[in-house]
Amino acid sequence: MPSIKSISQIYRFYFVSHNCTEKPHVHVRKDKKTAKVWLNVDKTVWLDEPNTQGFKSHELNAILAIVQTNFDYIWNTFHEHCKDYTGKPAP
């Protein structure tokens, strides 16, 4: 589970290699709290609510803001990671 460095000192942003067949997204963790944020080519982001647990609404708003601010970096890192993992571009 490679982490994305230099995005946040509060939350851990990372990818799960076996998820490379899914549409672009990033996982977020802090302590036992987890979230999954989907990324769309038009630079919109949204929470995968069934895979989001424990965060308060203000934390989720902060996470979405961090993802939005770092969208290009996360998007490119996801695709680079998944290309390395699967040998082909992510969906």
Per-residue pLDDT of the chain (91 residues; tens, 9 = 90+): 567 878 889 999 998 888 888 899 999 999 999 999 999 999 999 999 999 999 999 999 999 999 999 999 999 999 888 886 555 555 5
Sorted by where each begins, the domain ranges of the chain are 12-86
* DSSP, residue by residue, the chain: --B-TTS-SSSEEE--GGGTTSSSEEEEEETTEEEEEEE-TTS-EEE-GGG-BS--HHHHHHHHHHHHHTHHHHHHHHHHHHHHHHSS---
